């Protein structure tokens, strides 16, 4: 009973299937890796591949992987050709980097230019204002924030482009698990902000790809 990889998704949706490693048995993962190793024409992205699982993979399947221990992602067979469009990935705090890097790596893998702007949370709103023109210059802004996630609301009032909120599960007490950040983003007074699942940096990057798909189909027609 092996993992069935969807080789047509790239063509169909403009983004490849990523392998979510969480919850998969190590043996199923190794089988899939062996299958993909034999198909170098199919670059592949692995998400939520935790260090302790990565460390148990057999060397012949682990070695070819470009692994990032902050975002727990791995890339196989290089990245896709570069596309037009640009994305800003903005974080409120240092602890949100883990998730922001998942978005960043997904964009890197799919060939999309992007900038990571970290630690501009609203407890120091002037830090954000100093960089607001830079943020505004992108087609899509991904906002990664936990706790009260207030950054999404403030940005929603300052930027007229697409804003995708990614709540993170950092923090403790009522913040633990990320539901407060999720609900605060959904209830955001910054109109037109949309939201992904908690910690889903990959999903935010995919949403950005969908937007760039729309831009590119318009531009080219």
CA 191 to each of CA 163, 184, 188: distance values in angstroms, whole numbers, following the listed order = 10, 13, 7
Question: Closest CB to its own copies among 65 and 92?
Answer: 92
Q: Which of 94, 130, 131, 134 binds its own copies (CB under 8 A)?
A: 94
Which of 39, 40, 125, 134 touches its own copies by CB under 8 A? Answer: 125
Which C-beta is closer to its own copies: that of 66 or that of 213?
A: 213
Spatial CA neighbour of 121 closest among 141, 158, 149:
149
Rounded Cα–Cα distance for residues 16 and 40 (Å): 14
Phi, psi (degrees; rounded to nearest 5) at 84: -90, 165
Of the pair 28, 77, the CB lying nearest its own copies is at 28
Give, as ranges, the residues between 157 and 196 that touch its own copies (CB under 8 A). Answer: 157-164, 167, 169-196
Determine, following the binding rule CB under 8 A, whether residue 102 of this chain makes contact with its own copies. Answer: no
Q: Which stretch binds its own copies (CB under 8 A): 36-44, 60-68, 73-81, 119-127?
A: 119-127
Choose the binding region for its own copies from 34-42, 52-60, 71-79, 111-119 (rule: CB under 8 A). 111-119
Q: Which one of 35-43, 58-66, 72-80, 197-205 is the stretch in contact with its own copies (CB under 8 A)?
A: 197-205
Instruction: Say if CB 96 and CB 121 are below 8 A apart.
Output: no
Which helix (DSSP H) or strand (DSSP E) does residue 142 occupy? strand 140-145
- Helix, strand or coil for residue 132? helix
Size of the site for its own copies (CB under 8 A): 102
Let me know the angle formed at the C-alpha of 112 by 55 and 118, rounded to the nearest 5 degrees: 70
Which of the ranges 38-46, 54-62, 72-80, 91-99 carries the binding residues for its own copies, by CB under 8 A?
Answer: 91-99
Q: Are 135 and 155 in contact (CB under 8 A)?
A: yes
């Amino acid at each position: 009973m092996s993992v069935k990889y969807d080789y047509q998704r790239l063509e169909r949706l403009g983004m490849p299937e990523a392998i979510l490693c969480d919850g998969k048995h190590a043996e199923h993962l190794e089988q899939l890796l062996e299958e993909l190793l034999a198909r170098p024409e199919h670059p592949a992205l692995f998400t939520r591949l935790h260090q302790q699982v990565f460390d148990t993979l057999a060397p012949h399947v682990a070695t070819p992987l470009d692994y990032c221990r902050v975002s727990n992602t791995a890339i196989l067979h290089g990245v896709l050709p570069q596309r037009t469009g640009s994305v800003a990935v903005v974080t409120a705090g240092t602890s949100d980097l883990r998730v922001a890097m998942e978005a960043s790596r997904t964009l890197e893998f799919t060939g999309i230019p992007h900038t990571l702007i970290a630690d501009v949370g609203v407890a120091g709103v002037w830090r954000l204002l100093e960089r607001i023109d830079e943020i505004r210059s992108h087609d899509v802004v991904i906002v990664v924030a936990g706790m009260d996630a207030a950054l999404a609301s403030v940005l929603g009032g300052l930027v007229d482009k697409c804003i995708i909120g990614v709540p993170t599960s950092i923090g403790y007490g009522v913040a633990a698990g990320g539901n407060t950040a999720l609900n605060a983003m959904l209830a955001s007074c910054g109109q037109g902000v949309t939201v992904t699942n908690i910690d889903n940096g990959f999903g935010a990057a995919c949403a950005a790809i969908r937007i760039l798909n729309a831009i590119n189909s318009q531009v080219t027609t």
